A = this chain, B = another copy of it.
Amino acid sequence: MADKSAHKAKTRARILGEAAGAMRMAGVQGIGVSALMQRAGLTHGGFYAHFESRDDLVAHAVDRMFEESAMILDRFLGERPDLAGLIDHYLSESAYRAVDRGCPLPGLSGEAARMPPDARLRFEAGVRRFREGIARALEIAGRSDGAVLAHSLLAELVGAMTLARAMSDEGAALDFLASSRDRLKERIGLA
């Protein structure tokens, strides 16, 4: 019996992982229940054994997205904050390419206002944690205006990746990211 529910939990986690990936790629509305279950190697019918509704899935998928980036965030904003490292990582070429595994903000912020209510709550909580981590790092680095500056840095980080991904010229996008990294590090006096 323990084995059974362990298996079910693993299946649920697999569905959530696929949802978190697919929704970052295609948007929250961009993947349907049956396509999602197929990605997880299942058929559509079993879905409601794992989730109350599609909205319930979306809420947990949003959580999952932030959990996936929590470890990386903790590395740069944890005990010994490294804002320059965060900037370099957040706007790196590999982050640019890992649409389905990276930070959900560039792809989904524009959609946040029309997410199902639970999903939106969780999304906002994720944004808040990110912003507070940056603010804390800035204050540890001796900036008295950490809270305000954190908003501004987060806006530029998210805006830069969003606009880079909107460009179809990949070279131009990568140049844009490189110059954004320089500019941001310059702004916090770490160039």
Nearest opposing residue in chain B for A25, CB measure: B114
* B-binding segment of A46-54, A66-74, A80-88, A163-171: A163-171
Residues of B within 8 A of A17 (CB): none
A18 CB to nearest B CB, Å: 18
Q: Select which of B123, B127, B183 is within 8 A of A152 by beta carbon.
A: B183
Residues of B within 8 A of A154 (CB): 159, 163
Q: Tell me the dominant secondary structure on chain A's binding face.
A: helix
User: Does A156 belong to the interface (CB within 8 Å)?
Assistant: yes
Copies in the complex: 2
Residues of B within 8 A of A187 (CB): 187
A144 CB to nearest B CB, Å: 14
Q: Select which of B111, B120, B180 is within 8 A of A110 by beta carbon.
A: B111
Question: Is the CB–CB distance between A163 and B30 below 8 Å?
Answer: no
Residues of B within 8 A of A167 (CB): 124, 127
Question: Is the CB–CB distance between B179 and A148 below 8 Å?
Answer: yes
A 59-70 to B, binary, CB cutoff 8 A, 1 in contact else 0: 000000000000
- The CA-CA distance from A184 to B149 in the complex, in Å, is 11
- Which of A99, A110, A111, A162 counts the most B-chain CB atoms under 10 A from its CB? A110
Question: Is the CB–CB distance between A156 and B152 below 8 Å?
Answer: yes
- The CA-CA distance from A143 to B115 in the complex, in Å, is 41
Q: Select which of B27, B30, B156, B176 is within 8 A of A159 by beta carbon.
A: B156
A131 CB to nearest B CB, Å: 9
Residues of B within 8 A of A106 (CB): 110
For this complex, 7 residue pairs linking A to B, each with C-beta atoms less than 8 Å apart, are A29-B30, A109-B110, A109-B162, A151-B179, A155-B155, A155-B160, A162-B162
Further contacts, 9 of them, CB under 8 A, given A106-B110, A112-B166, A159-B160: A108-B110, A109-B162, A109-B166, A112-B165, A151-B160, A152-B183, A152-B184, A156-B156, A157-B159
